[in-house]
Amino acid sequence: MNPIDQLAEARIQEAIDRGELRGLPGEGRPLQLDDDSAIPEELRAAYRLLKNAGFLPPELQLRKEVREAEQLLQQLPESERSHARARLELLQMRLAANRRQPINLLLEDRYRQQLLDRLDHPAQGKPDAS
């Protein structure tokens, strides 16, 4: 155990001996620890502080915004959906860029449906390419 951990443990034990930690919320119950195994060890304390202060890591914040945009899109009348749909697509692209994984557009429902519609009903009035 490093000296800082030893000092912290000693201070905690002193507070316990003085009774300063009695009556705290959650006393006597097991701790609810978050799984932070995906976060680099050197960033865990910072992420925990941000989380306790009500902030989310960037990817989780984007996921939250995507969910909110999806809910908004479902509640809007069809005539007002274009702006919300554009916002949703932007958020989805940001989220995918943060993942550093390619987007498979054929798995995206809206894109796949547009592609199928275009294949089923080629544009009217355009000259045939043959």
Q: What is the rounded average pLDDT of the residues 111-127?
A: 63
29-62: pLDDT as tens digits: 887 777 777 778 888 888 788 777 877 777 777 7
Residue type, 67: R
Task: Out of 8-22, 60-74, 89-103, pick the least confident.
Answer: 89-103
**Considering the chain, what is the average pLDDT of its residues?**
76
Q: How far apart are CA 33 and CA 50, in angstroms?
A: 15
pTM of the model: 0.37
Q: Is the dihedral of CA 114, 116, 118, 120 positive or negative?
A: negative
Q: How far apart are CA 90 and CA 28, in angstroms?
A: 46
| Amino acid 88: pLDDT | 79
